[in-house]
Amino acid sequence: MMTSRTAVTVAAVSTVAGLLSGLAMYLGRSPEREQHVAGTEAWLPHVAVAVVLAVWLLIASRRSPLGLRVILAPLGRPIAARIAATFRARAVLRWPAVGFLVFVEAYLCWRIGVQVFAGLDPNFTANAWGGPSYAGAMLCHYLDGALLLLVCHTLLRWVTLPSIDRQHQHAQ
C-alpha cells in the first residue's frame, strides 16, 4: 500500500505536537497526588471496544487486498485521492463533513501523542479509564483512539467522492 505524504505528514506533525504538549503537561504537573476513585476504570466497556476492533480488523483484513496492512488505510493514497477529488469537484456540501473528519483524525493523533508523556503524571491516570496505572490508562485510551480513527476513516469513505485515479481505488 502506498501512503500519502500529506496524510503521513499531518499525522506525524499532530503526533509530535501532542508529544510536546504532553511533555509540557508532565513538566507542569501538580506535586499533590490525586486519590484514585474506585469504579473509574471502565474496563468492561473497553473489553467490548477491543472485541469490536478485533472483529472489524478481521473482517476488513479479509475483504481488503491489503490484508492486515488495511490498518494503514487512513494514511493511504486512496483516501487522500478521494479527499482531493471531493474538494476539486466543488462538492461544497461535503466540505464541512470532510474537514471535520480530517480534523478529528488529526486531533486523535495529537491526543495519542499527549498521553505518552502526560500519562507519566500519576494525577493524569489516577481516575482515567484503565487507570490508575500508566499501562492500563494508555491501553484504554489507545483502544478508544483506534476505534474513533476507524469510524472517521469509514465516514470519510462515505462522504468523499471517488477519485479519477482508479489505480488506487481498490485498496481503500
55-71 tens-digit pLDDT: 999 999 899 888 888 88
What pLDDT, on the 0 to 100 scale, is given for residue 56?
92
Cell of 14: 499532530
Percent of the chain with pLDDT over 90: 71
The answer, yes or no, to whether the previous bond of 132 is cis (omega within 30 of 0) is yes
Distance (Å, rounded) from C-alpha 73 to C-alpha 20?
Answer: 26
What pLDDT, on the 0 to 100 scale, is given for residue 42?
86
pLDDT digits (tens, 9 = 90+) for 2-38: 899 999 999 999 999 999 999 999 999 999 998 888 8
Cell of 154: 469509514
Distance (Å, rounded) from C-alpha 11 to C-alpha 13?
Answer: 6
Backbone torsion region of residue 131, taken as left when φ is above 0, otherwise alpha when ψ lies between -120 and 50, otherwise beta: beta
Give the pLDDT band of residue 132 (cuts 50, 70, 90): confident
Close Cβ partners of 26 (under 8 Å, ≥ 6 residues apart): 117, 118, 120, 121, 124
* pLDDT at 104 > cutoff 80: yes
What pLDDT, on the 0 to 100 scale, is given for residue 70?
87
Cell 471535520 appears where?
A: 100
What pLDDT, on the 0 to 100 scale, is given for residue 167?
53
Percent of the chain with pLDDT over 70: 95
Taking the CA of residue 113 as centre, how many other CA atoms within 13 Å lie in the half-sphere pointing to its CB? Answer: 19
